[in-house]
């Protein structure tokens, strides 16, 4: 049995150009789904999965992410004075979720480079990666499920979902042998394959648990798609030396990095919200 996974990297340095002008003055990770910013859902999943130490990779202009999780004593005092106990507890809890640190990615050189920025923080330990603009709804936290795969097999594991073949070219595609239940062993990884040559309907879904050997491979990965350091390319190098597993999860993935999916996410999660779900459903029926 391998050591438990307690560290996580959340890449959140991207520019969010598909959501401009909304993301001109605020990061896409701070856009609100119901009553919480996207990044909070991601951090909460990590914490629910046993993560105690998190590093968020940011870029210039994204300091508001730090502000969201830091204490605001003036606001706390105001809420306490006004007797808003529930709101006070909600914001105080943010600073106690985990040990959260921040590292700058000074150049936009891709997801692989963002993860490489966290090498000193992670050290020689396995760690989770949770994309900062992707919310996962599942009965069991997805990062927890991946951590259990790593602890059992001692090798990197990625979360997978099935998508229609006509949209699989938008994602990193996983090809592998079915080992039973929801687990696969990778034989090939293709980052955003051409539309006419898509080998699988299994695609990456924004969660990873990686062996620390990935850092060696990231340092030796040349720029790939979009002239960026692609994590997929580094994992392809890694799987030449050690197995890579894919776990197909039960649940729903929300990529809030574009306008349509951002609206869908608010509606879908709003329908399940105990406070507003019923009223929202009735309103949708009326219109």
For position 52, what pLDDT does the model report? Answer: 95
Q: Which of 20-24, 151-155, 178-182 has the lowest mean pLDDT?
A: 20-24
Cα three-residue angle 76-265-144, rounded to 5 degrees? 75
| pLDDT recorded at residue 96 | 84
Q: Model confidence over 2-35: pLDDT tens digits?
A: 668 999 999 998 877 788 888 888 888 999 999 9
| Mean residue pLDDT across the chain | 89
What is the arithmetic mean of pLDDT over 186-191?
88
Highest mean pLDDT among 63-72, 78-87, 137-146, 183-192: 137-146
Question: In the structure, what pLDDT confidence band is assigned to residue 118 with cuts at 50, 70 and 90?
Answer: very high
Within 10 Å of residue 104's Cβ, how many Cβ atoms? 13
* 88 neighbors 76 (Cβ within 8 angstroms): yes
pLDDT at 219 over 90: yes
H or E element that contains 150: helix 142-153
CATH fold for the domain made of 7-286: Spore Coat Polysaccharide Biosynthesis Protein SpsA; Chain A (3.90.550)
CA distance 184 to 194: 23
| Cross-strand bridge partners of residue 135 | 254
Least confident of 66-70, 137-141, 242-246: 66-70
What's the pLDDT band for 161 if we cut at 50, 70, 90?
A: very high
- pLDDT for 197 equals 81
Alpha-carbon distance 215 to 184, whole Å?
A: 23
| pLDDT of res. 3 | 67
Q: What is the pLDDT of residue 37?
A: 93
Q: Do 247 and 158 form a contact (C-beta atoms < 8 A)?
A: yes
Q: Are 126 and 238 in contact (CB under 8 A)?
A: no
The burial class, CB within 10 Å (0-12 / 13-18 / 19+), for 243 is: middle
Closest to 38 in 3D by CA, of 109, 107, 133, 114: 133
Are the CB atoms for 238 and 189 separated by under 8 Å? no
**Closest of 98, 131, 99 to residue 114, by C-alpha:** 131
DSSP state of 270: H
pLDDT in tens, 36-55: 999 999 999 999 999 999 99
Please tell me the pTM assigned to this model: 0.92
Dist. CA 279–CA 270, nearest whole Å: 10
Tell me the average pLDDT across 71-91: 87
Task: Please report, for residues 42, 160, 193, 240, the alpha-carbon distance to residue 173 in angstroms, rounded to integers and kept in the order given.
Answer: 23, 9, 7, 17
Lowest mean pLDDT among 114-128, 184-198, 238-252: 184-198
Nearby residues of 133 by Cβ (< 8 Å), 6 or more positions away: 12, 14, 16, 28, 29, 38, 255, 256, 257
């Amino acid at each position: 049995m391998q050591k438990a996974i307690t560290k996580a990297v959340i890449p959140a340095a991207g520019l969010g150009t598909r959501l401009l002008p909304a993301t001109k003055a605020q990061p896409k990770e701070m856009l609100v789904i119901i009553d919480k910013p996207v990044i909070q859902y991601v951090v909460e999943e990590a914490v629910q999965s046993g993560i105690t130490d998190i590093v968020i990779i940011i870029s210039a202009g994204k300091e508001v992410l730090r502000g969201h999780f830091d204490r605001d004593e003036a606001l706390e005092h105001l809420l306490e004075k006004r007797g808003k106990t529930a709101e006070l507890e909600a914001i105080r809890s943010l600073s106690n979720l985990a040990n959260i640190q921040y590292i700058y990615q000074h150049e936009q050189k891709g997801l692989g480079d963002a993860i490489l920025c966290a090498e000193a923080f992670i050290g020689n330990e396995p760690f989770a990666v949770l994309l900062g603009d992707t919310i996962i709804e599942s009965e069991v936290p997805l990062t927890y499920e991946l951590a259990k795969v790593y602890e059992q097999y001692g090798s990197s594991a990625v979360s997978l979902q099935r998508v229609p073949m006509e949209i699989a070219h938008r994602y990193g595609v996983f090809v592998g042998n079915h080992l039973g239940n929801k687990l696969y062993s990778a034989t090939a990884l293709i980052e955003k394959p051409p539309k006419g040559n898509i080998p699988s309907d299994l695609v990456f879904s924004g969660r990873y648990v990686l062996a620390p050997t990935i850092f060696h491979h990231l340092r030796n990965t040349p720029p790939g798609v979009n002239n960026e350091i692609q994590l997929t390319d580094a994992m392809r190098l890694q799987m030449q030396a050690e197995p890579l597993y894919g776990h197909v999860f039960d649940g729903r993935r929300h990529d809030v990095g574009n306008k349509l999916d951002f609206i869908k996410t608010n509606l879908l999660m709003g329908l399940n919200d105990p406070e507003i779900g019923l009223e929202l459903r009735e309103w949708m029926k009326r219109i």
